Every structure is written in C-alpha cells, then in structure tokens.
Chain A
Amino acid sequence: MRDLLSGNYAIAEAVRLSRVQLVAAYPITPQTPIYERISEMESQGKLAGKMMRMESEHSAMGACIAASSAGVRVFTATSSQGLALMHEMLHYASGSRVPIVMACVNRVVAVPQAFGSDQTDTLSQRDTGWMQFYCENGQEALDTVIQAYKIAEKTLLPVMIVIDGFFTSHFIEPLDIPDEASVDAFLPQGIIPKRLDINKPAFIGTVVNAEHYSQFRHRTFDDMEKARATIKEVNDEYEARIGRGYGPVEPVNTEDAEIVLVTSGSITSTARVALRSLRSKGYKVGLLKIKAFRPFPVQEVQQALKEVSKIAVVDRNICIGREGIFCQELKAALYPLERRPRVTGYIAGLCGSDVSPEMLEDIVIKTLRNDKEEGLPIWVRKD
C-alpha cells in the first residue's frame, strides 16, 4: 500500500506493523508526532500493545528495560535533551542485553537552545553499546524499524533508528507500506526470552567483581561484532520478502571516482542531486552514504574508498575539540589502508540550516582543487 506519510508517521506505522507490545515514551520536539500518532493508534485500537505515558525519558527507558526483560517487544522515541536525560539508562539497556528499538529524531542539544536538526545528540551516545542506523528518508526509517526488531532480538542488543529532525521527521512523502502478513512472516512474535519470572525471582544487573565485569564487557563487544553479519542477513531477508533493502553503507559511482563525498542522513538525498550535476559536468565524483554508525562498517568503508584519492566528509554535527564525528570515524577506519586517501571534513547544516546541492558541489570542487592537508574541519556557511 502506498500512502503519504511524514518520517515520524512512517516510524509509527512501522511500530504498529511490528506489533510492539509496549510503548513507553515522553514527548519532545521534533519526535512528538511519533508519540502522538502511536497514542492515536492505541485509542483507535490499532496498536497491538499498550502505551505508557511516562514522566521522563529516563523513566521511559527504565520501563522499556523492565518490559523487555520480561519478554515484551518495546519501543520508545526521543530527541535531543530527552536522549541526554536517558543517557545512563542507555548503558543500562545494552548492559542488560535487552532488544529495545528506539527512534531518535536529531535535534540540537542546548545550549544554545534551538530546534533544528543536528546529529550531535545521537552521536554523543556513541559509546552506550547501542546500534545506530542513520536513515536517509521516511521509507528507509520505516523499513529499518521493522528490521531493527529482528536484529535486536537476534543479537540481544538495543538499536537506535536515527532521522533528521524536520527534514525527515516532518516532510511528507509517498511511501510503500508493507502489508501486515508479510511483516508478520518476517518478524515472528514471542522470541524475546522472558527473564522475569514471578516463580523464579531474579536480580538482573547485580554488582560484580572486576573479573566478571571485564568478561561481560568483552562478551557484549564480541556480540556487537557478530551483529554485523546479522544486520546483513536480516536486510537480505527483508529485501527478499518486502522488496527493499539497505546496506550498512551505500556506495554510488565510487568505482571510477577520483573524489567521494561521504554523507549520512537526509543530506544524502541532496548529495544524489549534486552528484548527477557534477557527473554531467565531467567530474569523476562518487558518493558514500554511511547508514550504520554502530557497529561502524569498517570493511565496507575501506572497500568503497581504497582506490579513491580524495574524500570530502559532510558532518551535520560537531565534536568540540576535534572535528565532525563521521569524519573522525572515517579517518580511523581508513587508517589501516596502505594508500590512505586525503580526507577533508566539512561542517554543514547545523541546526537544520539548508545544505543545498550547490553547496555540496562547491565542497567537491574545492576539495578537488585543494592539495593541502586540512587539519581542522571547514565550516560551510551560506554566502
């Protein structure tokens, strides 16, 4: 079925199709329409489960951890300060090995106070042990939420689905909505282990000694590494059943490229337009979309970029004291290559300011002409 949906509503639709049994959330712009839409679904009897309207994001995550421990499929969504407030419970969730799926709609983190998109909120949660998938548009978000449940439940690791605030969350586009039967066949119910048993009480998350601590950490690390294969398998199965799939990265015209533009999130769609324009002008330019941030697709990135001499990374985020966060990650991933490409980082589109195709073309051309190694990121502003 095709329908016109915003990115937020697409996520809500995926939650419905995934037959989520518990939604525990707290509203915050620009995520609130997800919350509202699911609430509406519940009141109309369209939601398979229940919605808990929590007093904070911290509590929302607490409820999700408890319910998931009891074997319940759960969902929550948040943005910005809400995600920051949730921070300690994010560690708690991954340490508890609960398959929670959460939608995060990027928004700047105060101060300064603002509402536009900025990936720093989710990227700040890099080390909490969650998978992070940055989606380009509503369709991808919808498909990825459904996939995420399967990935999370197979690996017992929590997953964040990330979209750009307002660009993706509020833009309405025609989307393909899979039918319920296909989703049910793809995503069976009742496979989350029920760790809470009233007849066999347990204390989950006990105090451990140093040796045990290290063992648990190591085990979680290994399972995240193994998740790379699971992510692929699940995507392949989804593609076979539903007809759409997405890799952890998506290379476009990288085979013969002298320069590759690296993007994530909604800027990728703009970059596709810029790419066509540049190609028509004769530039040998390619595009690499990074979807999976955790686990970071090191091999896929190396594969796509090992022959390229110049790379321009566009970051809608900034790590104060270093550079754009995707740029850092990319550089680290490329470091083992024998012939390392020259990587230039650009900071663009902070707080949801527009990144136009012309700006991206300009970035590519400037990078091509620049033979200097740029130590610091280049801040791109509208003229």
Chain B
Amino acid sequence: MNLQDVEPLTPCARGTTTIFKTGQWSQKKPFYMEKVSPCREACPAGSDIPSFLSFAAEGDFDYALELLLQENPLPCVCGRVCYHPCQTECNRGQFDQEVEIRSLERAIAEFGFAVPKTMSAPGHSPQSIAIIGSGPAGLSCAYFLARFGHKVKIFEKNKEPGGVLRYGIPDYRLPKGVLRKEINRILSLGIDLESGINVDRKMLDNIKSRHDTLFLSIGTWIPRRAGAQNENSKDVLHGLDFLADRNSRGAHRDKKRVVVIGGGDVAVDVARTALRVCARDVKVTMVAPEALDEFPAIPESIKEALEEGIEIIGGYRPSEFKGTESLEYVRLAPAKVDKDPRTGMYRMLPAKGKDLVLDADFAIVAIGQIPDSELFRDGLLDEESHKVYVNEFGMTTAERVYAGGDLIRQRPAVVDAIASGKRAALAIHLGAQACDREEIIPPLRLGAGSSLSMQSYIEEAHMDLKRVVQFSELNTLLFRRTPPYIEKTVSPGARIQGFREVRKGLERVNAVEEAKRCFNCGRCIQCDLCFLLCPDISIIKTGTSRYEVDADYCKGCSICATTCPRHVIEMGDGR
C-alpha cells in the first residue's frame, strides 16, 4: 500500500496542527515571576546575590561587579569583614553546604571592573547634602546621593576617610590599599571630601545652614567603660583607641600578659592586634560576659584568634585592675548577659561563682562605644541607649537631619551602616523630588526584612520583592552535592608576625566554580529546562532573555513549574 493511500486512514498532520488550540481547555497556566532569595533578604545591603553570582559563574566578573555596585558601594570591604548573614540563610545550606558568598563578593570586586552607574530621575532637582563622618554609613549615603546627581560634601575629622574601616579594622582583615581603592571609586563620583576637620556643635549649625540636608554618621568613638576599679590605670586602654593609635604601638613591645575585655569584633581585633604588637611570647586572653559560644564576634574571627593562640574565657567581667606601679593582675567576677525585656537591649548581670584572677601587665577594654554626645542638641539622642533616634527612613527628630551607622540603634556592623546610608540617601532623594516616601520605599523592601533594593527603584522590578524562595520550593534534582571552595589562609605562625592579610581570597577559577554552586533561588538564569521539557512546545523564547507561555497550546500540565530548579515558575489560574 502506498503512503498516499494510507494517509487518509488515520489523522496525520505533515504540516501543522496549530488550528487546534488545545490550550484553551486548560484552567491553569504557568507564570514566570522572579522572587527574592533568602540570602538577599538577609543581606542588610540588599545585594542581588543570585543575579551577580549567575554572571560570576560564567566568568563575567565585570557585569557581576556592576550588579554588586548597584546595591553596595563597598564590596571589597564587605567581601572581607562582613558577618555574612546571607550565608547563614543560604538555601544551599540545607542541601550540602552554604555558598561562600562573602569570598565570592571579594573575588568579584577584585577580578571585576565596573564604574558605578549614575542615575538621573525625571524631574530631578539636585540638592546639596553635607555628610558628617566618612565611615561606611557616610560613604554609602554619599555614594547613592552622588549617583542620583546630588551635590555631596563629606566632613571627616581624621586625616584619611574611612572611619572605623580605616581606624578600627586592622590590616590583616582589611588592607589599607584595598580600602583606599574602594573609597576612591566612591569619591570619584564627584564627592567633595574635607578631612581633618572636627565638626563641633557650632560648626554643625553652620554646615546645616549652608546645605539642604545633613546626614550624621560620626560613628561611636567614646569607649563604653567596664566600670571596674582602676580602669583609668595607665596600663588599661580602650578598644578603638588602641586600634586607631598606631604610632604608639612600639610602646607595648614588652607586654607579656594581655587581658582583653569584650567579645565583639572590636575585642577580637584588639586581641589579635595585641598579639602582633606586644612581646614575641605574649599571652593574650579575651574575657567576655557571654558564654563561649555566644560571643557576638564573627565566628571565623574567633576561630582565627584561637588558631593564633589567643585564650578565650566566657562568663566573666572585670571587677578590678590591680597593681601598684604598673598593672599586675585583673580580677574577674562571674557575669552573664541577657536581653532586657523592656528595652530589647542586651545587659550584663552578675552571676554566681567564684572570682577569677588573671596575671596581666596590659589590659584593653573593648565592650563597645557610644557617640560623642557633645555634638547633639537635646532630644536628638536617646539618653538610655546613647543612640540617635531615627524613623524608618533614617530621619532624626530634627528637621532636614538624617543619621545612620553606629549612631543609630542597629547592629554596629559595616553592612548595617551601609544599609542605613543607602536608606537615608533614597529618602533624601525622594524628599528632594517631593515624592511620597511612604508609598515608594516600603514596596522596595526585600521579603519581610528592612533591606531595600535600589536597583528596583531605578528600574521597574520584574520580580516579586516580597516573595522569598524557600528551600522546599526548589527542584534540587539537577544539583550535585559539591563541597564549597574555601579561601586559603596564611598559617597562624606566619600571620602573627605582622599585619599581612590572613585570608588570601579565592583564585579566579575557584571563584567561578564556587559561583556555580549558587542555586540562584528565585532568579531565572535561562537554563532552558522549561523550554526543553514542555511537552506541548508552549514555552517560547522571546529575544535574548525571557520565556513566554503560549496560552493557545499550554495545557497547564505544570511540568515547567515543577521542574524549575529556582522556583521562578508557578501555576496560576486563567489563560
């Protein structure tokens, strides 16, 4: 029998069957909607981690950096010193091990080249803004305002900009050259910097009269005191003073037994710096009221401190620094820390047990800092917390005055300072445009958190900024379990000889491989799985990056939504 005789026997199409719009019977259709990854929700700076890692995974560090700089002006810094809440929330942590996001941020900032984009909104009316203090909050605020086209001037009391980044964090964690490069990129946006100028109350009034808006980011430099006897002894210093004053480091060269009071990042840096500047055979002991596993410092820093031979004691506070001519020992009383249910602030309480006595010829108290209240008029500062009160947009109680960084009540960390500067910059910009902040800013917040996406303000977001992709929503069948690429470190013996950087950063090839470990939760990376697996050829690739559903033929089988590894596709009602 010939083919032409057979064809009429059974329905057979050699041309097209498109006349039958089989998708019209379906009540369900897939929808593409990008969502927020838990890492991004957790990042105070709101960095679009799954997006920039998708480019890093292809070796495109330039574009990865461009995306990074959309949300965070200090990737070289954060890639080194951040406490990386992103990694704690990484969905991959429930699969094998979290992605090394912080190391990748550093790698992208090192290997990539990008110029921060300037943005001009329609109806733009530039303002002049004065920023007091050039720490991470001030730099961040200046960066975003300058990108919006505003005229920004920073006043810095020290000779060099950077604040705590320069005068607090030691070189072995953040080399000065790296910091300088990063700050220069920000200043190159056309920001004026006047350094070596100590702004007092009178001058502040003057500055305010000459600018449209003020942003206060002077940080906290007055040490919180331990309240122990003899705390004013010459052999007892306070944290940031010790770190900032590099000129007198030679004076500590004969100290052999150092006690550091405090369990935060500053205390760890103080202890590790002491190890490097005191006697060759110095014994450094850290004491904090927290339990050993509850020290507020970044766990990696504590681990590195232990590797370097620093002893750590938890559950004590100093009650007396004792000595006649010079310091001889520190008396420690049992203590504990809990949260004040009324204020929500941590407080130290006495605990049961016997005192402990540690021999010491040098002690450094690093239990936090408070701002220099001299600068503030009555009412700006909350007397109880010693913090400047701000609302959800970073505005203080004073007109035209915003504040951020360690001055305000938030975690005293670099990335939180960046976030506060960014938030204030957007609020100041919106104010200048006479836009409704109440209407514009809340939708820009990521997930349930307070971090916001500047990128989504600049360009309309084709994503649901409120939906955070959970691990259970991913299709992990196509992922393989692979261990993370961890940054190499200089050996403890070698690193305590000086201040060379401890972490060596990821090599380029390893950074690409580590970036590939990112699940890109909620982010479409055009993996084509939906396109390839659609049994009805109803996923259509449109142009360069997106997919469309051909509703005429899609039968709503949900294979695309089920197989999407990143939970970008979901089934919904309708055509």
Q: Which residues of B contact A212 (CB under 8 A)?
A: 11
Q: Which of A150-195 contact B (CB under 8 A)?
A: 153-154, 156, 191, 193-195
- Please state if B12 and A216 are interface contacts (CB–CB under 8 Å): no
Which residue of the partner chain B has the closest CB to A219? Answer: B9
Contact check: which of A154, A195, A205 meets B3 at CB < 8 Å?
A195
Extra pairs beyond A195-B3, A203-B17 (19, CB < 8 Å): A95-B10, A97-B10, A154-B1, A156-B1, A156-B6, A156-B9, A193-B2, A193-B5, A195-B12, A201-B14, A202-B14, A204-B12, A205-B12, A206-B13, A206-B20, A207-B17, A216-B9, A216-B11, A219-B9
Contact flags (1/0) for B5-27 with A, using CB distance below 8 Å? Answer: 11111111110010010100000
Q: Which residues of B contact A195 (CB under 8 A)?
A: 3, 6-7, 12
- CA of A203 to CA of B14 in the docked complex: distance in angstroms? 6
- CA of A191 to CA of B3 in the docked complex: distance in angstroms? 10
- Please state if B14 and A207 are interface contacts (CB–CB under 8 Å): no
- Please state if A205 and B14 are interface contacts (CB–CB under 8 Å): no
A200-B14, A202-B14 known; A97 vs B20 contact (CB < 8 Å): no
Contact check: which of A203, A219, A223 meets B13 at CB < 8 Å?
A203
- Please state if B8 and A219 are interface contacts (CB–CB under 8 Å): yes
Q: Which residues of B contact A194 (CB under 8 A)?
A: 3
- Please state if A207 and B6 are interface contacts (CB–CB under 8 Å): no
Which residue of the partner chain B has the closest CB to A193? Answer: B6
The answer to whether A208 has its CB under 8 Å from any CB of chain B is: yes
CB proximity of A87 to chain B, nearest CB, Å = 19
Q: Which residues of A contact B8 (CB under 8 A)?
A: 219
A156-B6, A203-B17, A207-B22 known; A193 vs B1 contact (CB < 8 Å): yes
The answer to whether A96 has its CB under 8 Å from any CB of chain B is: yes
Tell me the B residues contacting A by CB distance below 8 Å.
1-3, 5-14, 17, 20, 22
- Please state if B6 and A208 are interface contacts (CB–CB under 8 Å): no
- Residue picked from B2, B10, B14, most chain A C-beta under 10 Å: B10
Q: Which residues of A contact B10 (CB under 8 A)?
A: 95-97, 204-205, 216
Q: Which residues of A contact B11 (CB under 8 A)?
A: 204-208, 212, 216
Q: Which residues of B contact A206 (CB under 8 A)?
A: 11-13, 17, 20
Interchain residue pairs with CB less than 8 A apart (9): A154-B1, A202-B12, A203-B12, A203-B17, A204-B12, A206-B20, A207-B11, A216-B10, A223-B9
- CA of A223 to CA of B10 in the docked complex: distance in angstroms? 12
Q: Which of A54-84 contact B (CB under 8 A)?
A: none
Q: Which residues of A contact B12 (CB under 8 A)?
A: 195, 202-206
- CA of A125 to CA of B444 in the docked complex: distance in angstroms? 63
Q: Which residues of A contact B7 (CB under 8 A)?
A: 195
CB proximity of B25 to chain A, nearest CB, Å = 10
- CA of A38 to CA of B17 in the docked complex: distance in angstroms? 40
- CA of A202 to CA of B6 in the docked complex: distance in angstroms? 13
- CA of A194 to CA of B20 in the docked complex: distance in angstroms? 26
Which residue of the partner chain A has the closest CB to B9? Answer: A97
Q: Which of A198-228 contact B (CB under 8 A)?
A: 200-208, 212, 216, 219-220, 223
- CA of A219 to CA of B13 in the docked complex: distance in angstroms? 18
Q: Which residues of B contact A193 (CB under 8 A)?
A: 1-3, 5-6
- CA of A201 to CA of B537 in the docked complex: distance in angstroms? 15
- CA of A294 to CA of B10 in the docked complex: distance in angstroms? 20
- Residue picked from B8, B14, B17, B22, most chain A C-beta under 10 Å: B14
CB proximity of B287 to chain A, nearest CB, Å = 68
- CA of A295 to CA of B10 in the docked complex: distance in angstroms? 20
CB proximity of B6 to chain A, nearest CB, Å = 4
- CA of A204 to CA of B11 in the docked complex: distance in angstroms? 6
- CA of A96 to CA of B6 in the docked complex: distance in angstroms? 10
- CA of A61 to CA of B17 in the docked complex: distance in angstroms? 25
Which residue of the partner chain B has the closest CB to A209? Answer: B20
Please name the 6 residue pairs, one residue from A and one from B, whose CB atoms are nearest each other, closest first: A97-B9, A193-B6, A207-B20, A203-B13, A206-B11, A97-B10
- CA of A26 to CA of B455 in the docked complex: distance in angstroms? 59
Q: Which residues of A contact B14 (CB under 8 A)?
A: 200-202
- CA of A156 to CA of B7 in the docked complex: distance in angstroms? 11
Which residue of the partner chain B has the closest CB to A194? Answer: B3
- CA of A74 to CA of B5 in the docked complex: distance in angstroms? 21
CB proximity of A142 to chain B, nearest CB, Å = 26
CB proximity of A218 to chain B, nearest CB, Å = 12
- Residue picked from A191, A206, A223, most chain B C-beta under 10 Å: A206
A191-B1, A205-B11, A206-B12 known; A97 vs B17 contact (CB < 8 Å): no
CB proximity of A149 to chain B, nearest CB, Å = 14
- CA of A182 to CA of B528 in the docked complex: distance in angstroms? 56
- CA of A326 to CA of B391 in the docked complex: distance in angstroms? 89
- CA of A154 to CA of B5 in the docked complex: distance in angstroms? 12
CB proximity of B106 to chain A, nearest CB, Å = 51
- CA of A234 to CA of B60 in the docked complex: distance in angstroms? 72
Q: Which residues of B contact A96 (CB under 8 A)?
A: 10
- CA of A201 to CA of B2 in the docked complex: distance in angstroms? 17
Which residue of the partner chain B has the closest CB to A96? Answer: B10
CB proximity of B8 to chain A, nearest CB, Å = 7
Q: Which residues of A contact B20 (CB under 8 A)?
A: 206-207
CB proximity of A192 to chain B, nearest CB, Å = 8
CB proximity of A240 to chain B, nearest CB, Å = 23
- CA of A205 to CA of B12 in the docked complex: distance in angstroms? 6
Contact check: which of B1, B5, B9, B13 meets A202 at CB < 8 Å?
B13
Q: Which residues of B contact A219 (CB under 8 A)?
A: 8-9
CB proximity of A196 to chain B, nearest CB, Å = 10
- CA of A207 to CA of B3 in the docked complex: distance in angstroms? 21
CB proximity of A153 to chain B, nearest CB, Å = 8
CB proximity of A260 to chain B, nearest CB, Å = 38
Which residue of the partner chain B has the closest CB to A213? Answer: B11
Q: Which residues of A contact B13 (CB under 8 A)?
A: 202-203, 206
Q: Which residues of B contact A95 (CB under 8 A)?
A: 10
Q: Which residues of A contact B3 (CB under 8 A)?
A: 193-195
